[in-house]
Structure 1
Amino acid sequence: MRWLPTVLLLVSVIIDQSCADRVLVLGETAAIKDSHSQFLNSIKERGHELTIRTADDSQLALFKHGQLIFDHLFVLAPGVQVFGGSLTPSEISKFVDEGGNVLVAADSNIGDALRELAVEHGFEFDEAGTSVIDHHNYDQSLDPGDHTTVVVGKDQLISAELIVGNSAKLGPVIFKGIGLVAGKTNNLALSIVKASGTAYSFDPKATRVVNPSIAGSRTLLVGGLQSRNNARIVFSGSTDLFSNAFFSAQTNSVNPAVGAAASGNAELASAIAKWVMKESGVLRVKSVNHHKKGETMPPAEDYFIAEDVVYTIEIEELKNGKWVPFHGKDVQLEFVRVDPFVRATLKNNNGRLSAAFKLPDVLGVFKFLVDYRRVGYTHVYDVLQVSVRPLWHTQYERFIRSAYPYYASSFSMMAGLVLFSIVYLYHKDTPVKGAKVLDSEKKKN
């Protein structure tokens, strides 16, 4: 029995490896392992299995026999013109449609492959050779003189801790690369990191700036979206944002409001990677129940109009690899036929959300609907269909107090009819003295 602990340990290791997320990392060269080792090692330390390849590898593929080979795709190869193997922007889009998550990092020497991939997901990078320039927020120590090494302040980050971490504790972020914009029809776009109002995108080698294509806070440094199937994709205009050099750098902004401080790139990159890989901001429905007030189980048949009903839903959130009760207090329930008849905010008791209400005095097929959409969280959509029917004829009250006047009017009319009938049938007319006899009566006589 001495070998039993060893066997159990091996089995647990095998199970952990089989359950680990598979990540495909693409770089322009194998040097990506050294230049971005801190970022890649942080992902390994969280239990993920990394496969690092060059972007032009002839064996690249995301599907095998119609199944996903990888769970996540990181593209850190900005200059790639054509992907190797069967990998194409269309296949990456199919990968996202199947639930895969993608992180793309570009640069000023962006190739056609990444530009096409961004367009397919509602974003557009600026022209190759351009960079984000900010004469009021650049790093004095790292910048080569063209003011393209931009220092990003906390106010330029999206207000979502699930995506960028705790911005209050985050140091200044260093960015050097190309800008991008979200399409006007991209309703799912998230402005994760925006440029400042003094920034613009242009060729830093140009002697004169004329009508930059994008400028101000419309310029995105990092953008992303969460698709309707909850798959996540992030586009960064800088590969250096995730590099060892920027992770360990000491910022020295020309802006006195920022000053000198340790770089916050490591914390920001880690938070973005966790969000992309669904290590944060993931919700799931554990159980749903509905029943009449005073009972614990749903009715055997349908509900009746105007009954008191209790609805309960349990929602869990994934935190640090464990499912814990969700403590959100803004989840709403709608009782819908075509339009909502009832809308109520659910009361949260340690992840158990409930609401009690009276059914409308309207019959039909209704739905208990929870549709929860918040920035950073996966979409929670739960629907239960129930029927609401009128009361049986034996369930109505025999006499309704509010109808007493109508009852009285009915009985008074019946009594009046009886009196009128008696008077009409049994009343005799008496002749009047001195009345003239008609001619017809005279003839008879």
Structure 2
Amino acid sequence: MRWLPTLLLVASIGIQQSFADRVLVLGETAAVKDSHSVFLNSIKERGHELTVRAADDAQLALFKHGQLIFDHLFVLAPGVQVFGGSLSPIEISKFVDAGGNVLIAAGSNIGDALREVAVEHGFEFDEAGTAVIDHHNYDQTLDAGDHTTIVVGKDQLISAELIVGNAAKLGPVLFRGVGLVSGKSNNLALNIVKASGTAFSSDPKAARAVNPSIAGSRTLLIGGLQSRNNARIVFSGSAEFFSNTFLAAKTNSVNPSVQGASSGNAELASAISKWVMKESGVLRVKSVNHHKKGETVPPAEDYFITEDVVYTIEIEELKNGKWVPFQGKDVQLEFVRIDPFVRATLKNNNGRLSAAFKLPDVLGVFKFLVDYRRVGYTHLYDVQQVSVRPLWHTQYERFIRSAYPYYASSLSMMAGLVLFSIVYLYHKDTPIKGAKVLDSEKKKN
């Protein structure tokens, strides 16, 4: 039996590996393993399987027999003009449609391949040879004199801890590369890191000054989006942002208001990679229940109008590789036919969210609908369809309090009719003495 612990250990390792995410990393050369080793090793340490290839490798593929070969794609090859193998911008779009996640890192030497991928997803990189320049926020140590090695303050990050981590504790970030913008019709775009108001994108080697194509905070340094199928994509204008040099650098900004001993690149790169690989910001529905007040299970048939009901949903969030109760307090429930008849904020009790309400006095087919959309989180959508019918004739109240005035009116009318009938039928007029009697009355008598 001494071999039993060893067998269990091997089995557990096999189970862990079977659930490890597969990551394809593309570089311009094999040197990306050395220049970005710190970043890549941090991903390995989180339990992922990395496959590093050249971007022009003739054997590149993302699908095999219609199935995904990799779960994530990292492109750290700014200058690639054409991908190798079956890889192409259209193929990457299909990869995203199938649920794959993508991280694209470009640079001033950006090739056409990365520009096409960005356009496919609602972003646009500036022209090759351009760089983001900031004469008021550059690093005095790493910059080569053209002010393209810029220092980014924490106020330029998106206000979403799930994506960028704890920005309050983050040091200044170093960036050197090309700028990008999001399309006006791209409603899913996330401005993860934007340039300062004094930055602009231009060719630093131009012989004479030209009008910049993009300038100010409209210039994005890192952008991203979460597609409608919850696949995530991040576009960085700088591959050096993830390099060992920038991750370990000491910042020396010309701007005295942006100071810090070490760069925040390592922390920010880790947070962004966790988000794009769905290690953070992932929600799921554990269970859903709805029933009449005072009961514990849904009705065998239909609900009836004006009944009191209780709705409960359990939501979990993925944190550090484990599913834990979701603590959000802004989840809402809608009771919808065509339009919402009821909208209520669910009360959270350690991941168990509930609401009690009265069904509307309207019959039809309704839905218990939870549609939760928040920046950084996956889209949570749950629908439970039920029917609401009118009461049986035996279920109505015998007497309705609001109808008491009408009851009184009917009774008084009936009593008045009876009284009038009695008076009319049994009342006889007595003649007045001394009054003249008409001939017609005499004949009757």
TM-score if structure 2 supplies the norm length? Answer: 0.96
Match in the other structure for 2:33:
33
Match in the other structure for 1:291:
291
How far did 1:295 drift?
1.2
Match in the other structure for 2:85:
85
Judge conservation of contact 2:78–2:106 (CA < 8 Å) in 1. yes
Percent identical across equivalent pairs? 86
SS at match of 2:206: coil
Match in the other structure for 1:311:
311
Match in the other structure for 2:217:
217
CA distance in 2, matches of 1:390, 1:22: 55
CA distance in 2, matches of 1:187, 1:374: 13
How far did 1:211 drift?
1.9
How far did 1:437 drift?
5.4
Match in the other structure for 2:10:
10
Judge conservation of contact 2:76–2:105 (CA < 8 Å) in 1. yes
Match in the other structure for 2:335:
335
Aligned counterparts, 1:21-420, within 5 A: 21-420=21-420
How far did 1:173 drift?
0.5
How far did 1:185 drift?
0.2
How far did 1:404 drift?
2.1
What are structure 2's unaligned runs of at least 5 residues? Answer: none
Match in the other structure for 2:438:
435
Matched AA of 1:137: N
Deviates more, 1:11-20 or 1:60-69: 11-20
Matched AA of 1:314: E
SS at match of 2:41: helix
SS at match of 2:7: helix
CA distance in 1, matches of 2:342, 2:209: 57
Deviates more, 1:283-292 or 1:387-396: 387-396
Q: CA RMSD in A?
A: 1.7
Write out per-residue CA displacement over residues 322-342 of structure 1, whole angstroms, 9 at most, x where no aligned residue. Answer: 000111111111111111111
SS at match of 2:275: helix
SS at match of 2:324: strand
Matched AA of 1:118: A
Judge conservation of contact 2:105–2:235 (CA < 8 Å) in 1. yes
CA distance in 2, matches of 1:428, 1:248: 119
CA distance in 2, matches of 1:401, 1:15: 67
SS at match of 1:251: coil
CA distance in 2, matches of 1:405, 1:110: 82
CA distance in 2, matches of 1:348, 1:325: 10
CA distance in 2, matches of 1:364, 1:313: 23
Judge conservation of contact 2:190–2:223 (CA < 8 Å) in 1. yes
Write out per-residue CA displacement over residues 110-160 of structure 1, whole angstroms, 9 at most, x where no aligned residue. Answer: 111100100000000001100000000000000000000000000000111
CA distance in 1, matches of 2:87, 2:202: 31
How far did 1:430 drift?
8.4
CA distance in 2, matches of 1:281, 1:390: 43
Write out per-residue CA displacement over residues 209-232 of structure 1, whole angstroms, 9 at most, x where no aligned residue. Answer: 332110000000000000011000
Judge conservation of contact 2:282–2:318 (CA < 8 Å) in 1. yes
SS at match of 2:261: strand
CA distance in 2, matches of 1:320, 1:437: 113
SS at match of 1:376: coil
SS at match of 2:162: helix
CA distance in 1, matches of 2:260, 2:422: 110
Write out per-residue CA displacement over residues 367-415 of structure 1, whole angstroms, 9 at most, x where no aligned residue. Answer: 1111111111101111111112222111111122332221122122223
Q: Number of aligned residue pairs: give it.
A: 440
CA distance in 1, matches of 2:151, 2:77: 23
Write out per-residue CA displacement over residues 314-363 of structure 1, whole angstroms, 9 at most, x where no aligned residue. Answer: 00000110000111111111111111111111111111111111112222
How far did 1:46 drift?
0.5
SS at match of 2:376: coil
CA distance in 1, matches of 2:45, 2:408: 84
SS at match of 1:291: strand
How far did 1:195 drift?
0.2
Write out per-residue CA displacement over residues 80-139 of structure 1, whole angstroms, 9 at most, x where no aligned residue. Answer: 111111111111001001100000000011111100100000000001100000000000
Matched AA of 1:165: G
**Structure 1 residues 260, 283: closer, same or farther in 2, change over 3 A?**
closer
CA distance in 2, matches of 1:304, 1:290: 14
How far did 1:421 drift?
4.0
Matched AA of 2:122: G
Deviates more, 1:410-419 or 1:366-375: 410-419
How far did 1:167 drift?
0.8
CA distance in 2, matches of 1:374, 1:304: 34
CA distance in 2, matches of 1:436, 1:212: 121
Matched AA of 1:367: K
What are structure 1's unaligned runs of at least 5 residues? Answer: none
CA distance in 2, matches of 1:169, 1:437: 117
How far did 1:259 drift?
2.9
Judge conservation of contact 2:172–2:259 (CA < 8 Å) in 1. no
How far did 1:310 drift?
1.0
Write out per-residue CA displacement over residues 299-318 of structure 1, whole angstroms, 9 at most, x where no aligned residue. Answer: 11111122111111100000
